[in-house]
Structure 1
Amino acid sequence: MSLAYLPSPSQGVWHLGPFPIRAYALCILVGIVVAVLITQRRWVARSGRAEDVLDVAAWAVPFGIIGGRLYHVITDPQLYFAPGRNPVAALYIWQGGLGIWGAVALGAVGTWIGCRRRGISLAAFAGAVAPGLVLAQAIGRWGNYFNQELFGGPTNLPWALLIDPGNRPETTPDISLYHPTFLYESLWCVGVFFLLIWAEKRFRLTGGRLFALYIAAYTLGRAWIESLRVDDVNHILGLRLNVWTSIIVFLTAVSFLIATRRPGQPGPDAPAPAADEKPHQRKRSRPQPLAARARGGRPYLPGPRD
């Protein structure tokens, strides 16, 4: 065993009388609260109302949780419906198992319903929610740490994660140290959060384009992190299903960013406008034909000295 490693928590459930307090659920709830608070601040800064965010979240959060669970169960049915398994366990959300793609997809439906009821722009709201959403993912991943699940393959790196014997893969029961993929993804999501804040100011990304950047940046990291994991999932052509999903979603997001880039939009090296410069104050110089220049009411034609 390596001399340096990350210990796993001794328990992931505490009891308050007859009521269990699960760390996985707490991580999800804290992530939701953080996402709502950040989105409220960003939405109010865009002349929105704080109550808009709460009303939309009332639709988006339940839809997202249901979508995340459905995606997990549909893509890994053998965990619940194989011989000897308990199909009712598919309803046990508190034990872990929420697929981010189902959460985003069905959560988007809930967001659309909430935005429609409040009469606000879905694209504008998507841009406001993107940074908070990815930070919520960073927090939620720590639920996997408490459950000792979704870790990577064996490793002797100094930050390897110690896994208890009862949670180790059947193929490597004698190996105790594994890649802490929950930590990799959590740190990646924090990096994406700062990327979105920076890109929004640097390139003036708004609305759906900022949300597309979030999707592209997240899937770029999720693809390689997913490839490290050793939990039992379905494979297609030798790759884990979620790796294929990440690739497809990444290409879709990048295509959207390219397709919606306006010709006059600044590129990576274009300077940002001055802070006190108003949009209507920016002068646009258009070349005028020589025939349009007049001297004394007659068209001006260049002479030898010109």
Structure 2
Amino acid sequence: MAAWAVAGVLVATLVAVVAGGSLAEAWRGRRPLDPVAFWIGPVGVRWYGLVIALSFVPAWLVAQPERVRAGLAPDDLVDLALLGIPMGLVGARLVYVLQNLDYFVLHPLDALRTRMGGLSIHGALAGAVLAILWLARRRRLDAAALADVVAPSVLLAQAIGRWGNFFNREVLGYPTELPWGLYVPEPMRPPGYEMAAYFHPAFLYESILAALAVAGLLAYRRRARRRPGELAALYLVAYSAVRWGVEWVRIGEALALGMSLAQWVSLGGLAVGAAWWAWLRWRGRPAMVE
């Protein structure tokens, strides 16, 4: 139900953007939007980081039923969060820096300035996978079962966390005149699109599709007979498909055959996830039974 609730809120938000109201005013650029949520003395807490941090709360709650089913102790999940979150953030920033190496070679100190955004989800996933493998080996846990516990939660956190991009006016699609086009102030417009004012909110498209994919994963999670790793494999399929589709409207450079690097990585993830799921279904270990 949590994923359906998030998806409903996101769809309602899209309706609100079109229909009007305070959100629509900020969305369409008729009302200033402060990227700083509040101040603690001289330090401003930005909406970007706050939204990402808050996304872990519902993600934690969603993980609990699968943790119990897998027979994991609460401490296992706590330790995974304490290890996986920082490793994911480091991986996310590192991959983003590598993707924009030309800029960061000239401005190396900016690599440490994450408050304005600049995180790669693929890098975050790589960090999270390393955390799962390390903890599973250290605690003698089933890494596939551990991945199943967090798979829907990670996708839910991604769906919610994407809203941090709204406040930074990033993860934008091409210019559009559609009613839900997002207004971007001139200083924040992508290079080469300074004359455009309204853009596809690619982050919103990804957020809605990811939330719907979470609902699908949670429905599949209720299957009485499934093998460890199936949820993680389907997560890889679902998110890869979402990202591949959203990239068609997102501003970026084509790498080959009209597709961006992220799309090629997503196709690889989709293929690996589908093959992994098929192998588990037909050649895997004995099925888990309630």
TM-score normalised to structure 1 length: 0.78
Q: Using a 3 Å threshold, how does the CA distance of structure 1 residues 196 and 19 change in structure 2: closer, same or farther?
A: same
1:192 aligns with 213
- What's the offset of the Cα at 1:279? 6.3
**How do 1:96-107 residues align onto structure 2 when only pairs under 5 Å count?**
96-107=117-128
Which residue number in structure 1 is paired with residue 280 of structure 2? 260
The answer to whether the 8 A contact 2:147-2:232 is kept is yes
SS of the residue corresponding to residue 191 of structure 2 reads coil
- Cα distance per residue 1:66-111 (max 9 Å; x no partner): 1111111112212322xxx412111212221111111111211112
* Conserved 8 A contact 1:234-1:241: yes
Aligned residues: 263
Q: 1:112 aligns with which of 110, 128, 133?
A: 133
Partner of 2:89: 65
Which of these residues, 233, 236, 240, is aligned with residue 212 of structure 1?
233
> Percent of aligned positions with the same letter in both sequences?
34
The residue identity in structure 1 corresponding to 2:219 is: W
Cα distance in 2 between the residues matched to 1:102 and 1:262: 31
Of residues 157-166 and 190-199 in structure 1, the stretch that sits farther from structure 2 once superposed is 157-166
Gaps of 5+ in 1: 266-277, 281-306
Larger Rg: 1
Per the alignment, residue 41 of structure 2 pairs with 17
Note the C-alpha offset of 1:250: 0.8
Asked if residue 124 in structure 1 is aligned to residue 145 in structure 2, the reply is yes
After superposition, the Cα gap between the structure-2 partners of 1:108 and 1:170, relative to the gap in structure 1 and judged at 3 Å, is: closer
Paired residue for 1:91, among 76, 88, 112?
A: 112
Identify if the C-alpha distance between structure 1 residues 203 and 257 changes in structure 2 by more than 3 Å, giving closer, same or farther: farther
TM norm structure 2: 0.82
Q: Partner of 1:26 in structure 2? A: 50
Say if 1:7 and 1:203 are closer, same or farther in 2 by CA, change over 3 A: farther
- Residue 188 of structure 2: aligned partner: 167
Q: Distance in 2 between matches of 1:78 and 1:241?
A: 16
1:204 CA drift (Å): 3.7
Aligned counterparts of 2:189 and 2:142: Cα–Cα separation in 1: 47
Q: Give the Cα–Cα distance (whole angstroms) in 2 for the partners of residues 261 and 30 of structure 1.
A: 35
1:287 maps to what in 2?
A: none
2: CA distance, partners of 1:58 / 1:204: 31
C-alpha contact (below 8 Å) 2:224/2:289 kept by paired residues? no
Q: Distance in 1 between matches of 2:58 and 2:289?
A: 33
Opposite residue 221 of structure 2, the aligned amino acid is E
- Cα distance 1:234–1:70, how it changes in 2: closer, same or farther (>3 A)? farther
Distance, in Å, in 2 between the alignment partners of 1:28 and 1:17 is 22
Aligned to 2:63: 39
SS, match of residue 262 in structure 1: helix
Amino acid at match of 1:155: T
Q: Is the 8 A contact 2:159 2:210 kept in 1?
A: yes
Partners of 2:116 and 2:127 in 1: how far apart? 21
How big is the shift at 1:156? 1.6
Letter in 2 for 1:37: L
Alpha-carbon RMSD across the aligned residues, in angstroms, is: 2.6
Output the CA distance in 1 between the equivalents of 2:58 and 2:72: 18
Deviates more, 1:168-177 or 1:143-152: 168-177
